[in-house]
Amino acid sequence: MTSSRKRRRSQGEGSVFKRNDGRWVGQIDLGWTDGKRNRKTVYGATEKEALGKLAELREAQSKGQNLTAKPRKFAEWLDEWVEMKRRQGTRPLTLRGYRQLIRDHIGPALGRKQLDKLTPTDVRRLVEAKAESGLSAATVKQIHGLIRNTLADAEREELVHRNVAKLVKTPAVRREEARVLTIEEARWLLDVIKDDRLEAFWVCALTLGLRRGELLGLRWDDVDFANGLLAVRQTLQRADGSLQFVDPKTDRSRRVVPAPEPTLAVLRKHKRAQAAEQLAAGKRWQNLGLIFPSTIGTPIEPGNLSTRWRATRKRAGLDWLRLHDLRHACASFLLASGASPRTVMKTLGHSQIGLTMNTYTHVLPDIERAAVDAVAKRLFG
């Protein structure tokens, strides 16, 4: 449709004109790409509205947004972002968590929004709605964090001129006091699991602080019995419908930890029992070299192992004790015994010392008390 009036503005500001149907049109020239002239067009019911939208375009361009990029919905960018993270080597289990947050929470609320039109208000309303729905503060924080991370990459790729999620506050996560396994309870647990087929698994979790997937990924080649060392080189996860051996969670998760002699003794006993299982399985045995396989040598399904643990803790009368709590117990015992936070960080494979200190603050008063008592003893005899 031809225009009834066109007003040219100074170089770079674009032009505004009124169409015969009464709508106002604003255009900004974006130069040439692959032999084609690029223009960005906005519309308004009034000249003032069109001018305002044109000013927003110029501001976005001045802040680095690539106005020639293909327009996309936020949902399209989320899909593209997850695929980008997959190509960059993000772990399958982490990708599954991203997809779940997007599918259940972010996509339904914000997916239809235009990526470059997303506002702080849009994000704030989602965060508030999720908090009011009864979701935990930690989950709401994860939702906000994922939006913030996706928009940070969009900003780096000049698809948006600012990360609107940075302007939104999330509810504070209240750290609840977790119940901690005591030394007496740990001794009782060791008695209960004695001669269990997975005794060595539970003992390694308690004394070495390894994660479930790390333990399931261990091979006999990873154990140096002569020097009392154990190497974490891979982890077992269920992702995309299959069991997969993947790299450890972070560079620090790939580590070598010292194993105490009682743990090594349990592992030797476990190795002898496994040799008998292999003999009984005959040709059915699949020799993958795993320390903790099924009765025919194949990887153990992580979910099945958790089921076994629930039955084990019930026998011990410790129904509250999660399998992951054995890892926490290991760290707490190390700190209470005088190990430095840096040593515990290395043993657990934490990526940052702050994570170690924030996770095990419940042990710090005992450590501080022991330290000041030791100094007083040296001063006063």
Q: Which CATH number goes with the domain that contains 321? A: 1.10.443.10
Band of the pLDDT at 343, cuts 50, 70, 90? confident
**Residue at which a domain ends, from 167, 202, 224:** 167
Number of domains into which the chain is organized: 3
For residues 188 and 337, is the Cβ–Cβ distance under 8 A? Answer: no
Q: Has residue 250 been placed in a domain?
A: yes
pLDDT tier at 9, thresholds 50, 70, 90: very low
Q: 126 with 190, same domain? A: no
Average pLDDT score over residue span 361-378: 57
> 241 with 313, same domain?
yes
pLDDT at 98: 94
- Is the separation of the CB atoms in 181 and 326 below 8 Å? yes
- Composition of the chain by helix, strand, coil, percent to 5: 55, 15, 30
Q: What is the pLDDT of residue 76?
A: 93
pLDDT for 371: 54
| Same domain assignment for residues 126 and 82 | yes
pLDDT at 362 over 60: no
Give the residue with greater pLDDT, 347 vs 1.
347
Give the domain-ending residue among 112, 136, 167: 167
Tokens 């004790």 map to which residue?
321
User: Are residues 58 and 106 both part of a single domain?
Assistant: no
- Tell me what the mean pLDDT of segment 328-355 comes to: 78
| Whole-structure pTM value | 0.67
- Taking alpha carbons only, the member of 49, 44, 1, 3 closest to residue 24 is 44
Q: Please, what is the Cα angle at 348 between 344 and 354, to 5 degrees?
A: 65
Structure tokens at 81: 């972002």
In a domain, 378, yes or no: no
Does residue 55 sit in the same domain as residue 143? no
pLDDT band at 2 (very low <50, low <70, confident <90, very high): very low
Question: Is-contact 205 323, C-beta < 8 A?
Answer: yes
- Length of the chain in terms of residues written: 381
**Calpha distance 26→264 (Å, rounded):** 75
Residue 273 vs residues 151, 185, 190, 199, 326: alpha-carbon distances, Å: 53, 27, 18, 11, 24
CA distance 352 to 292: 29
Check residues 156 and 150 and name the one with the higher pLDDT.
Answer: 150
321 and 367 fall within a common domain:
yes
- pLDDT-derived band at 1 (thresholds 50, 70, 90) equals very low
> If pLDDT is split at 50, 70 and 90, which confidence band does 177 have?
low
Residue 141 counted as domain residue: yes
pLDDT, position 195? 94
Q: What is the pLDDT of residue 150?
A: 95
| Structure token digits, residue 180 | 């901690």
Average pLDDT over residues 166-185: 79
Tell me what the pLDDT averaged over the chain comes to: 84
| Amino acid (one-letter) located at 335 | L
One-letter-per-residue 3-state SS of 220-268: HHHEECCCCEEEECCEEEEECCEEEEECCCCCCCCEEEECCHHHHHHHH
> What CATH number is attached to the domain comprising 117?
1.10.150.130
Residue 381 placed within a domain: no
- Asked whether 106 and 165 are in contact (CB, 8 A), the reply is no
Query: Does 33 share its domain with 90?
Result: no
Residues 242 and 319 in one domain: yes
Shared domain for 216 and 320, answered yes or no, is yes
pLDDT at 126: 95
**100 shares a domain with 193:** no
Give the pairing type, strands 24-33 and 15-19: antiparallel
CA distances from 217 to 54, 137, 200, 231, 351 (A): 57, 32, 14, 11, 20
Q: Is residue 83 included in any domain, yes or no?
A: yes
φ and ψ at 111, to 5 degrees?
A: -60, -35
* 42 and 78 belong to one structural domain: no
Q: Tell me the average pLDDT across 249-265.
A: 89
Report percent pLDDT > 90 for the chain. 49
Q: Do the domain assignments include residue 34?
A: yes
- 169 has pLDDT over 80: yes
Angle at 52 between CA 48 and CA 53, to 5 degrees: 120
Q: What percent of the chain is predicted at pLDDT more than 70?
A: 81
Q: Which domain holds residue 322?
A: 183-371
pLDDT at 93 over 50: yes
CB within 8 Å of 81: residues ≥ 6 apart: 150, 153, 154
In a domain, 335, yes or no: yes
Instruction: Tell me, yes or no, whether 126 and 199 share the same domain.
Output: no
**172 in a domain, yes or no?**
no
- The rounded distance, in Å, linking the Cα atoms of 288 and 308 is 22
**pLDDT value for 214:** 95
H helix intervals, 285-381: 302-315, 323-336, 341-348, 353-359, 364-380
pLDDT confidence of residue 4? 47
Q: Tell which of 167, 194, 219 closes a domain.
A: 167
